[in-house]
Amino acid sequence: MTCYRSFPHHVVHGLKKGLRLVPVVAASLSLVACQSYETTGGNVVETLLFSPTFTKNRQDIPSTYNTPYDCRSFSGSGWKGIASGKVFNFSQKYIISQAGCFKTQGECKAWLSVMSSYIDQPRYIRCNPYTA
């Protein structure tokens, strides 16, 4: 009878040990998968660890000024995207507002997606039909 009572205890104890190894094995396999997957620029892990950092300085935020997407030089009909809000870069806090004019709604939404990655506290991010 003692044998019967200790059997489930050993099984449970072994199961607990095995379950502790699951995250370790999963992490190891994913790291191996990342290391074996080559991109055009090299190893994925190296790319993630050593690529340039994402900065939010005022001069690094994309601007449409003097580009084909500048609304002042846009003609015809399309979409006008406006992105504004607060940007926090460590101790620096500032408000930005950018506008761009695009031929398609898809281009406008793609631009807003990029801009929203810079804006920490959005105030207005929208694409509207536009005719110049």
Q: List the structure tokens of 124.
A: 């207005």
Is residue 111 a contact partner of residue 102, using CB atoms and an 8 Å limit?
A: yes
How far is Cα 110 from Cα 57, in angstroms, rounded to an integer? 21
Q: What is the pLDDT of residues 34-54, one digit of tens each?
A: 444 444 445 666 665 665 556
Q: Write the pLDDT tens digit of every residue in 45-88.
A: 666 566 555 677 777 888 999 999 999 999 999 999 999 999 99
Are 79 and 47 spatial neighbours (Cβ–Cβ below 8 Å)? no
- For the chain, what are the domain ranges? 2-50, 58-131
Cβ proximity of 77 and 131 under 8 Å: yes
User: What's the chain's Rg over C-alpha atoms?
Assistant: 26
